[in-house]
Structure 1
């Protein structure tokens, strides 16, 4: 088990969320059920898939997400969960290196980082490049960003 996998399990413990493995509908690899404080994961997923799905579902647990009948609410919850997972699973220095090595191709970057391509795409969506500076998860206002890198 990698250190990031252990951090995810520790985070689940801190949230008071159980993780259980069981068969899920064909269109799901994981599911968070807020009323039970449990994350269900499909058994047998390979490491990078398991890690990515677990982080995504932990984000739902953190935010207390419950499915909505209103599509835009679900879309917002899914985007937020994927972005939260990306910020926890991807180290920016590693990302920079693998982006260069893979000519920016998300699939190659994901393989090298040990996450799913959707996580890399979510991370890329958080990047804002302005001049010689790259900001990660930039917000309105001075100094409001997750990470900043000056490029020579």
Structure 2
């Protein structure tokens, strides 16, 4: 199963309908909680489509309602970006892409089939401590999604 099929299946299981529509040029997608609908702009590249769908699906998972209050909006967007990054990027693939492209976000995004903002969101959830990198660390011993020893 491809990641695209997996995302579409997640949406279906959650009762979220995906529609393709003409959206304003500055919008690639949106989630409408009241209607349980994700609207996506027609004609996006596969990388952009996958990235936007995962981002909007995160808004659905968290039942986000649009907010004009800056801190709330920023929190919703950051959380959606991080949720999408964790679903679209496997850490071993990220590590290989980082080595192959010497950390260049654009090359890594192309390699991993996502957009640069997904790479940036994934980087934001990494924590480097001495000779280790932790993915999504939390408080408490052994509380992380992945630990990678680095030189």
TM-score, length-scaled by structure 2? 0.97
Query: Deviating runs (4+, > 4 A) in structure 1?
Result: none
**TM-aligned CA deviation for residue 145 of structure 1:** 1.2
Aligned alpha-carbon RMSD (Å): 1.0
**TM-aligned CA deviation for residue 21 of structure 1:** 0.1
Corresponding pairs, count: 151
Whether 2:95 is the aligned partner of 1:92: answer no
Instruction: Tell me, in whole angstroms, the C-alpha distance in 2 between the residues paired with 1:135 and 1:105.
Output: 20
Instruction: Tell me, in whole angstroms, the C-alpha distance in 2 between the residues paired with 1:117 and 1:47.
Output: 14
Instruction: Tell me, in whole angstroms, the C-alpha distance in 2 between the residues paired with 1:122 and 1:113.
Output: 14
Residue of structure 2 equivalent to 1:104: 103
Unaligned 5+ segments in structure 2 are none
**TM-aligned CA deviation for residue 57 of structure 1:** 0.2
Matches within 5 A, 1:27-106: 27-106=26-105
**1:56-85 per-position Cα deviation (integer Å, ceiling 9, x unaligned):** 000000000011121110010000000000
**1:121-141 per-position Cα deviation (integer Å, ceiling 9, x unaligned):** 000111111122110011111
2:30 counterpart SS class: strand
Instruction: Tell me, in whole angstroms, the C-alpha distance in 2 between the residues paired with 1:9 and 1:151.
Output: 35
Residue of structure 1 equivalent to 2:136: 137
Unaligned 5+ segments in structure 1 are none
